[in-house]
């Protein structure tokens, strides 16, 4: 059986749209990291996005029994293009119709110089299709939502209703009946 344990990286404390900007994670809550590590299967493979906030979170979860796979850039967050590191209000001031349509009707519409929701879901789907067995995937908010949409067949509107906290686990299991979510946004 394939089981995916999607972990959102440690917090960055940024109050802006952070996609491919490489910010560090705050991993100072060592008790939360220890609880998270203990919750995850000790013998699962461990992979992360190549952005440092995901890499360092994965490194903090590494055990000698967890096979560390190479970082995968396909597991990155949504690329916000020129909106990177801007607040919604800042992006809205420059182009209110574009930013509103981007969030209210996600799909093919791209951020200026970046990606649209269809782009990230396609990228995440391809990355997930390469994984088998028990795998811990340390990645990002948008990547986890895209994984939920892809594996569970949810609409983008349904998937956007989910909250994904830093250092949370979302567990997806492949069963004979298909993919199921065991937990979404679980904080150990």
Over residues 160-180, mean pLDDT: 97
**How far, in Å, CA of 28 to CA of 60, rounded?**
11
Structure tokens at 169: 């686990």
Q: Read off the pLDDT of residues 5-24 as tens digits, 9 standing for 90 and up.
A: 999 999 999 999 999 999 99
Mean pLDDT, residues 35-62: 98
Q: Work out the number of other CB atoms within 10 angstroms of the CB of residue 168.
A: 19
DSSP state of 90: H
Closest alpha carbon to 58 in 154, 167, 184:
167
Are 167 and 35 spatial neighbours (Cβ–Cβ below 8 Å)? Answer: no
**Rounded to an integer, what distance in angstroms lies between the CA atom of residue 156 and that of residue 149?**
7
DSSP code for 168: -
| Residue-range domains of the chain with CATH | 3-186 (3.40.50.1240)
115 CB neighbour count, 10 Å cutoff = 21
Return the biggest CA–CA distance within the chain.
50
C-alpha neighbours within 13 Å on the C-beta side of residue 18: 19
At 1, the pLDDT band (50, 70, 90 cuts) reads confident
Secondary element (H or E) of residue 130? none
C-beta pairs of 103-111 under 8 Å, 24+ apart in sequence? 106/156, 106/160, 107/156, 110/81, 111/19, 111/78, 111/79, 111/80, 111/81, 111/82, 111/83
Mean pLDDT, residues 63-82 taken together:
97
């Amino acid at each position: 059986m394939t089981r995916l344990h999607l972990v959102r990286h440690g917090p960055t404390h940024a109050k802006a749209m952070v996609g491919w900007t490489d910010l560090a994670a705050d991993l100072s809550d060592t008790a939360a990291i220890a609880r998270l590590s203990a919750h995850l299967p000790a013998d699962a493979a461990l992979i992360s996005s190549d952005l440092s906030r995901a890499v360092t979170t994965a490194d903090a979860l590494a055990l000698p029994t967890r096979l560390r796979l190479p970082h995968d850039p396909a597991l990155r967050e949504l690329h916000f293009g020129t909106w990177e590191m801007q607040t919604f209000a800042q992006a809205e001031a420059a182009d209110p119709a574009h930013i509103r349509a981007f969030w209210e009707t996600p799909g093919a519409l791209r951020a200026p110089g970046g990606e649209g929701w269809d782009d990230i879901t396609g990228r995440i789907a391809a990355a997930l299709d390469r994984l088998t067995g028990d795998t811990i995937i340390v990645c990002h908010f948008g990547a986890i939502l895209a994984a939920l949409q892809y594996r569970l067949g949810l609409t983008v509107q349904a998937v956007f209703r989910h909250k994904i906290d830093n250092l949370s686990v979302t567990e997806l299991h492949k069963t004979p009946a298909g993919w199921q979510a065991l937990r979404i946004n679980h904080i150990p």
